[in-house]
Amino acid sequence: MKKLFIDYDKFLSIPDEELQCSYKMHPTNNGILTLREEIAFLFACRRCEDYPCVNSCPTGALKKEEGLIKRSNVVCISCKTCSLACPFGTILQELLPYLVSRCDICIGRLREGEEPLCVRTCKNGAVKYLDEDEIKDKTNIYTIGDRIVVRVFNWLKEYGIKK
């Protein structure tokens, strides 16, 4: 089965206006930002002992749940305090939109034989749509849901941190 493959380091370097998304419910917002946030919280977050990002949030929008950081977009006021408090720069300010759009892998485009719009508009190869067996280098490959695969350096696994 084909999946959306994201190389996170390359993905972060793409300006938002270059990478298009076909999410129709919120044309000014797209699934790209939500994917970046989800990957950051799952894999790039270093799980600080005292969680300065959570503690700095004036509204309580960030929570630690089962060792993972979760953000409630309904409570978040986009003040960016968590971004400033993160000692590793994991929470990027542009990842804190008010609206949240979930990536549906462009299901409508796939039904018409087209590839996802983000794949078509990605110029640096950070986003691809391919079969898992087409991924030659399996180093640092992780799955998000059923249809998204990401290459990202996982700090927790690398350093044996269990939180």
- Please say whether the beta carbons of 145 and 1 come within 8 A: no
For 105-127, the pLDDT digits (tens) are 888 889 999 999 899 999 999 99
**Residue 114's CB: how many other CB atoms inside 10 A?**
14
Record the pTM.
0.69
| Average pLDDT taken over every residue of the chain | 82
Q: Using CA atoms, how far apart are residues 130 and 115, in angstroms rounded to an integer? A: 10
Model confidence pLDDT, tens digit, residues 22-67: 766 656 656 777 788 888 888 888 888 899 999 999 999 899 888 7
